[in-house]
């Protein structure tokens, strides 16, 4: 049986690739040769032309948010616009939670 594949992202190219996971191997973008970011197996990429969604995704990834499957139903909610991201960040602060630990659901 083969290894399960997981998603990797290149933010400058706005591209996502499914590849087998290997902790010791650095993945490179086939378009620009930059290092790919491991985002998890439950990742659903936005459309390439949706620059707002990619900007939000970039902010989430730089905050440490990843999209791994769990036994209880997947990665959960992900903000899609900058206004949703700002509202969720404010809500996380009001609850006293770090944003990357915050699921966004009540």
Say if residue 1's pLDDT is above 50.
no
* Higher-pLDDT residue of 48, 83: 48
30's CB contacts (< 8 A; 6+ apart) are 17
pLDDT band at 104 (very low <50, low <70, confident <90, very high): very low
pLDDT per position as a tens digit, 25-58:
999 999 999 999 999 888 889 999 999 889 989 9
DSSP string, 25-60: ---B-TTT-PBPEEEETT--PPPTT-HHHHHHHHHH
* pLDDT over 90 at 79, yes or no: no
Give the β-pairing of 15-20 and 5-10: antiparallel
For residue 17, give the nearest of 25, 7, 3, 26 by alpha carbon: 7
- Does position 85 have pLDDT exceeding 60, yes or no? yes
Give the pLDDT mean for 67-84. Answer: 68
What is the pLDDT, as a whole number, of residue 23?
85
Q: Is 13 exposed, middle or buried (0-12, 13-18, 19+ CB in 10 A)?
A: middle
Edge-to-edge strand list for the sheet holding 5-10: 15-20, 5-10, 37-40
Q: Is the pLDDT of residue 101 over 50?
A: no
pTM for the structure as a whole: 0.72
Q: Locate 29 and state its tokens.
A: 């973008």
């Amino acid at each position: 049986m083969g290894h399960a594949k997981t998603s990797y992202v290149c933010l400058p190219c706005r591209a996502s690739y499914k590849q087998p996971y290997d902790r010791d191997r650095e993945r490179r973008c086939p378009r620009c040769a930059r290092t790919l970011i491991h985002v998890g197996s439950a990742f659903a990429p936005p459309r390439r032309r949706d620059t707002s969604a990619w900007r939000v995704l970039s902010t989430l990834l730089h905050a440490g948010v990843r999209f791994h499957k769990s036994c209880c139903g997947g990665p959960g909610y992900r903000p899609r616009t900058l206004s949703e991201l700002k509202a969720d960040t404010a809500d996380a602060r009001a609850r006293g939670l770090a944003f990357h630990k915050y699921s966004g659901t009540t």
